[in-house]
Structure 1
Amino acid sequence: MGYKIAVVQQKGGVGKSTNCRNLAAAHAGFGWDVKIADLDVNQSTSFTWHKRRLAAGVEPVVAVEIFGSASQALKQADNYDLFIFDGAPMANRATLEVALVSDLVVIPTGLGLDDMEPCVILANDLVKNGVDRSKIVFVFCRTTGSDAELQYAIDYMDQTPYFTVPHPLPEKPSIRGAHDQGLAAIECKFKGPRESAERMTQAIIDRLNELMN
């Protein structure tokens, strides 16, 4: 039985699929058998990214499949070394279902209160419904590069009981371009954005290893 990671959020467009791709590509690069379960049946951004990746012949291969429900995805989860749930763009019943069974729950957020407050509310709701608080990890995505703004966000999250990755992923055209080519951000051709993605992804992996050991 392998590991399960749920990447979920309360509002769309903050980096959910970006983190799924990074985690999947990183572990597949280690030789793991990985699948992303795309639970966003309307937009299916991870699945369309997967098609671009296959068309471009990018390696390592990352399996992606669209699932209409969490229960359908869960039937396959134990068949992989790592199974990543790419949650719906808005929290729903499936969000709790996958969070309860996952070894780690990653919640991407921006740096402003408009992003952070709904995400913290989501985390609180998950904990109230049985999710282990230590499994929840916050990451800062699509950031501006302002150190002051990042520090403000870190200070805000320090007031919560949740683990927060301090390494942000900036909003960069090169990362969007990488996604357009079927690449993960950790595979970006430009060093700065790639290393930012690598630092964030490694911190998430380190947290998972810490909880599992």
Structure 2
Amino acid sequence: MTFIVGMVSQKGGVGKSTLARMMAREFVAGGLATKIADLDTQQQTCTNWAGRRAENDIEPEIQVQSFASVKSALEEAGRFDALLLDGKPNASDQTVEIAKASDLVVIPTGQTVDDLHPGVVLAHSLRKKGISPETIAFAMFKITGSERENAAAREYIAQAGYMVLDGEISVSTAYGSASDQGKAITETSFRTLNERASKLAQSVIDRIAELQERKVA
């Protein structure tokens, strides 16, 4: 069985591709054959990152391929244990296609209303297209040190009717530096930052397992 995880967003720069790369690295490290389908053919963020990773001989190797359509990306699914669909920013027909194909849809968001509101609007639009809210989860990115603001952001999403994954990615230049080298955000030079990112990755894995158990039941 192939687990398909869709990374979507209403706007760019919130951490969608960063999340896809982190999950790919963790899946591969856990022994799962994994591929990122980079569906943003203009930016090709994940594709370019994989190139930097290969140039720097960073292990484990992460397979990334650019696809012009969700349909063509899904043709690869049977060859892998996990397929990560990294979509274009902004809601589109492609976003709905990704959501319908995915076992779990993850929407990364910051903690300000400028980030939260578009994310929730996107989630609502997916529900209107028939996507179960149980398969939609939010991931907190670019978090500041304020526990109050973080709690308020999580409550905002919960009040809208959606799950917020455990863990969060704080604002740190170390994450950007790691990405520049072709590393995932669980591979920085700082143990604490890696542990925070790993907590989020584990929450994604746990949610997928929970949804799969419900299917079987």
Shorter-chain TM band: over 0.9
| Residue 86 of structure 1: aligned partner | 86
Is contact 1:107-1:137 (8 Å) kept? yes
Q: What's 1:138 paired with?
A: 138
Q: TM-score, normalised by structure 2?
A: 0.95
What amino acid sits opposite 1:204 in the alignment? V
- Please name the residue that 2:168 is paired with: 168
Q: Secondary structure at the match of 1:87?
A: strand
Q: Quick one: which amino acid aligns to residue 135 of structure 2? A: K
Aligned counterparts of 2:68 and 2:200: Cα–Cα separation in 1: 29
Q: Secondary structure at the match of 1:107?
A: strand
Structure 1 residues 154-193: aligned runs within 5 Å? 154-193=154-193
Matched-pair contact (CA < 8 Å) for 1:154–1:166:
no
Tell me the number of residue pairs that the alignment of Structure 1 and Structure 2 aligns.
213
- Structure 1 residue 75 displacement after superposition: 1.3
How far off its partner does 1:78 sit?
Answer: 2.2
Q: Tell me by how many angstroms 1:170 deviates.
A: 0.5
**1:211 corresponds to which residue?**
211
Query: Which amino acid is the alignment partner of residue 119 of structure 1?
Result: G
User: What value does the CA root-mean-square deviation take over the aligned residues?
Assistant: 0.9
Deviation at 1:61, TM superposition (A): 1.0
Gaps of 5+ in 2: none
- Give me the whole-angstrom Cα distance separating, in 2, the residues matched to 1:92 and 1:33: 29
Q: What secondary structure sits across from 1:167 in the alignment?
A: strand
Instruction: Tell me the equivalent position of 2:53.
Output: 53
How far 1:166 moved relative to its partner? Answer: 3.9
Matching residue of 1:40:
40
Counterpart of 2:123 in structure 1 is: 123
SS at structure 2 position matched to 1:165: strand
Unaligned 5+ runs, structure 1: none
**Aligned: 1:20 with 2:24:** no
Separation in 1, partners of 2:65, 2:175: 23
Say whether residues 1:152 and 2:152 are aligned partners.
yes
Cα distance, 1:37 vs structure 2: 0.4
**Structure 2 residue 5 is matched with structure 1 residue 5:** yes
In structure 1, distance between residues paired with 2:32 and 2:60 = 10
Moved more, 69-78 or 52-61: 69-78
Q: Letter of the aligned partner of 2:154 in structure 1?
A: I
Cα contact 2:111–2:149 (8 A) shared by 1: yes
